[in-house]
């Protein structure tokens, strides 16, 4: 009757290297017990309702001892019948990940478990640095060695240095940067060529990956001079030289950048995929959530609207959509009420911009009107040209009946420009009230934040108050306090709101994701 534990390898850091099986389990997990090296982007894939337990361990500072982690997994399984407990570990659970110890503890307690392998850093990190661990004519084998495990008898590294020194294949040391000077000296003493190429790869597969080259003879002094720190792996052998020609990740335009995307979760995947392909690490941090109303709400309430509200569509000549959310919610309501797109036959369709226009096309609807200025004001001014400015000639040119499809937080810009229009509120926007600690830390360490709406900016300010608000003596926000300071914005209104709160802003030329991504790449070029 106990819960089931899944020992999942999260891979080396890049969220794209998490296995499909691992992602599937994280999305339904009731509890996630995770390590320090697990990427924030992978944590973002977890079930938002899951209990998140940080047992991360730092060198020389074990946040939670391994024995306690073992007991914790058993405890969760026994206390939560039928629950899915995910034990999320960096790399692969069985490659120096102590997954075997955790599995044995589960066996002894009679707890059901499953192993979900992960991509080990031993082969993936060198690959991201352009170093193949094996290569014809250079290395026909590779050997993975722990660099920090010490013998209990004398406290020295439990390594067979004489055998390692004779090895003709690639040597891969996981962990152990603090011991690498000693390891290099012992290998040389045991006969390994001091000119053997060595590479230290820090934070492999993440935006902060760095490769430092040395030789066996200069390994120790290079670590000190270049300030090489954990997490890092060490590669020894002739294949290291190939990294000078094959390094590819560092050439991506957004390599080394962590960007926060604040779009609603269901809309973020598109820009996330584009930014990730360009080398960035993306932290999806939606600031708002949208919920389709069961039925459109008419504002202001008007006489003559049928109780079967979609029957009243016949009264309108033009439907104006002001957002992607408005499009999705309108059609969701329309279909749920038993109608389909045929009720729109003969009606003119207007969109606030290209993104909304594209979404309409997915439903088979082509737009008749799209303003050059992709804002509510631009749309209002365009549609106002269709309305006679006086009652003269109204018989020959009847006033078109306009229906605005909007959210509950839409401002009154459109209705001021189109006072005769009817507004249907088809969805409501709900702000995110708080961020978990792990995500807050990830956001504060980011290089920039991406905003697609003013409401996202406003809510970001609320959930990250210590990063943006000024002090009592300086009540106005100060750019020097922002974490991150830089923002990329879609639209002038979003830009104005970001500037109001002290952000440095970079705004796309057009209100499209393509334009925004192009602007981000140009900024970091």
Active site residues: 35, 57, 175
SS (H, E, C) 426-455: EEEEEECCCCCHHHHHHHHCCCEEEECCHH
What residues have CB less than 8 Å from 278, skipping those under 6 apart?
252, 253, 254, 517, 521
What residues have CB less than 8 Å from 276, skipping those under 6 apart?
15, 16, 282
Helix (H) or strand (E) holding 66: helix 66-79
- Whether the CB-CB separation of 10 and 39 falls below 8 Å is answered with yes
Distance between CA 38 and CA 111 in Å, rounded?
A: 25
Distance between CA 112 and CA 287 in Å, rounded?
A: 38
Nearest to 211 by CA among 126, 124, 281: 126
What residues have CB less than 8 Å from 244, skipping those under 6 apart?
130, 213
Among the residues of 167-278, which ranges form H helices?
Answer: 180-189, 219-226, 243-246, 265-277
Distance between CA 403 and CA 420 in Å, rounded?
A: 10
Q: What are phi and psi of 143, to 5 degrees?
A: -130, 125
What residues have CB less than 8 Å from 356, skipping those under 6 apart?
321, 322, 323, 324, 326, 327
Dihedral through CA 447, CA 463, CA 205, CA 117, nearest 10? 180
């Amino acid at each position: 009757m106990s819960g089931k534990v899944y020992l999942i390898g999260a891979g080396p850091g890049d969220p794209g290297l998490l296995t499909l099986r691992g992602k599937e389990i994280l999305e339904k997990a009731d509890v996630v017990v995770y390590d320090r090296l697990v990427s924030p982007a992978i944590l973002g894939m977890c079930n938002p309702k899951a209990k998140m337990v940080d047992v991360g361990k730092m060198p020389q500072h074990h946040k939670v001892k391994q024995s306690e982690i073992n007991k914790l997994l058993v405890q969760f399984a026994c206390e939560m019948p039928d629950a899915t407990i995910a034990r999320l570990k960096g790399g692969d659970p069985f490659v120096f990940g102590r997954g075997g110890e955790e599995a044995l503890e589960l066996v002894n307690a009679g707890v059901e478990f499953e192993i979900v392998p992960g991509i080990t850093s031993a082969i993936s990190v060198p690959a991201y640095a352009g170093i193949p661990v094996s290569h014809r004519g250079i290395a026909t084998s590779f050997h993975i060695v722990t660099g920090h495990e010490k013998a209990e008898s004398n406290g020295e590294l439990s390594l067979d240095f004489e055998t390692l020194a004779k090895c003709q294949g690639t040597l891969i040391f996981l962990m152990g940067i603090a011991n690498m000077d000693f390891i290099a000296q012992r290998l040389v003493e045991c006969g390994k060529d001091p000119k053997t190429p060595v590479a230290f790869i820090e934070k492999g597969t993440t935006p902060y990956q760095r490769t430092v080259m040395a030789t066996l003879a200069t390994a120790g002094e290079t670590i000190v001079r270049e300030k090489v720190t954990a997490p890092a792996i060490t590669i020894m052998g002739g294949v290291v030289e190939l990294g000078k020609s094959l390094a590819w990740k560092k050439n991506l335009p957004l390599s080394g950048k962590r960007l926060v995307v604040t779009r609603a979760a269901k809309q973020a995947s598109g820009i996330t995929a584009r930014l990730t392909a360009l080398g960035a690490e993306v932290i999806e941090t939606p600031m708002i959530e949208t919920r389709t109303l069961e039925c459109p709400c008419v504002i202001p309430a008007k006489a003559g609207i049928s109780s079967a509200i979609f029957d009243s569509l016949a009264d309108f000549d033009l439907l104006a959509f002001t957002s992607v959310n408005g499009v999705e919610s309108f059609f969701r309501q329309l279909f749920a009420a038993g109608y389909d797109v045929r009720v729109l036959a003969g009606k003119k369709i207007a969109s606030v911009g290209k993104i909304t226009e594209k979404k309409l096309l997915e439903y088979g609807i082509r737009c008749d009107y799209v303003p050059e200025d992709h804002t509510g004001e631009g749309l209002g001014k365009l549609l106002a040209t269709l309305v006679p400015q006086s009652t003269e000639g109204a018989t020959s040119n009847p006033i078109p009946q306009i229906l605005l499809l909007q959210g509950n937080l839409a401002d009154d810009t459109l209705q001021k420009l189109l006072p005769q229009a009817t507004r249907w509120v088809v969805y409501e926007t709900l702000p995110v009230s708080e961020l978990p600690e792990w995500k807050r830390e990830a956001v504060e360490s980011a290089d920039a934040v991406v905003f697609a709406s003013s409401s996202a900016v406003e809510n970001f300010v609320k959930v990250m108050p210590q990063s943006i608000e000024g002090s009592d003596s300086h009540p106005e926000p100060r750019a020097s306090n922002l974490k991150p300071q830089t923002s990329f914005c879609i639209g002038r209104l979003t830009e104005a709101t970001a500037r109001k709160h002290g952000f440095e802003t970079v705004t796309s030329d057009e209100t499209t994701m393509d334009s925004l991504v192009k602007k981000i790449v140009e900024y970091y070029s």
